[in-house]
Amino acid sequence: MTMSNELTCQELVELVTDYLEGSMSVAERARFDQHLAVCAGCRNYLDQMRKTIHTLGQLSEQTISAQARDDLLNVFRSWKAKDTDA
């Protein structure tokens, strides 16, 4: 956290799931909302996360082609392999 009570953009990104799930304390929620009030980039990020969740909530395994599923799994495996190599 910063020395002041202001939330940084990085902190907001780390807390966005708690915010969307409504699992923040009242004080943390107030800090989050205060940051959103002054940071257009974080408002945009939050909006993108909401849209992603909405869109993914409408997908089922049956709606994804086998090729798309395989491509996504390959990308994930490649990313995960790079992450463990570091």
pLDDT one-digit tens code per residue, 30-77:
999 999 999 999 999 999 999 988 888 876 777 888 898 899 889 989
For the chain, what is the domain count?
1
Q: What is the CATH number of the domain that holds 75?
A: 1.10.10
pLDDT tens-digit readout, 9-24: 999 999 999 999 899 9
Q: Are 16 and 43 in contact (CB under 8 A)?
A: no
Does a structural domain hold residue 2? no
Domain span holding position 24: 9-85
Q: What is the model's pTM?
A: 0.63
Select from 9, 15, 61, 63 the least CA-distant residue to 40.
Answer: 9
Give the integer Cα–Cα distance in Å for 85 and 17: 27
